[in-house]
Amino acid sequence: MMARPHLFLPLSAALAALAGCAAPGPYPSLAQRPIERALGEPGVPPVIAPLPDDPAVAARVAAFLGEAQAGDRTFLAALPAAQAAARRAGAVGSDSWLQAQQAVSRAQTAQAQTIRVLAELDRYAVDQANAKALSASDLQRLQAATAGVQRLADAEHAEIVRLQTALRTP
């Protein structure tokens, strides 16, 4: 059987024309969907307005810092007596050693205020973060305050440890 090229061309043109004639039906629209309008263009992050600062957070952080500084001043006032008593301490169990232990205990008691403020500040920061979204400034303010009070508490603790270590060595 021999191919008839002159029939092939009109037949393929007719089939191509028939392929474009699909039955009408419930095809999805190519228009933008509501979710696509809400999300915006792909790859373009949505513009989010910055959150306003909460004046209550700034005031409370300032109060925490004031309390921590007062606690540190109390500790620093008790520290020279503890240092002097530790230098004068005699053998373990002697009267001078007991007096040094008491002076170090007074310094530790003074340190308690700074530690209390640190714990309250930590709790406040967690409560604020759980209650609402914080502005960048408020978040930074809380983090800076926590770090600052932590530094005070760490320095006080290091001094107490140094004094206690000095009293343990014969």
DSSP state of 41: S
pLDDT at 21: 62
State how far the Cα of 68 lies from the Cα of 145, in Å rounded to an integer: 10
Per-residue pLDDT in tens (0 to 9) along the chain, 170 residues: 555 666 666 666 666 666 666 666 677 777 777 776 666 666 666 677 788 888 999 999 999 999 999 999 999 999 999 999 999 988 888 999 999 999 999 999 999 999 999 999 999 999 998 888 889 899 999 999 999 999 999 999 999 999 999 888 65
pLDDT at 4: 61
State how far the Cα of 2 lies from the Cα of 17, in Å rounded to an integer: 26
pLDDT at 145: 96
pLDDT at 132: 86
Q: What are the residue ranges spanned by the domains of the chain?
A: 71-168
Q: Is the pTM above the cut of 0.75? A: no
**Identity (one letter) of the amino acid at 43?**
G
The alpha carbon dihedral of 85, 113, 154, 93 has a sign of: positive
State how far the Cα of 86 lies from the Cα of 109, in Å rounded to an integer: 17
pLDDT at 46: 65
pLDDT at 79: 96
pLDDT at 39: 67
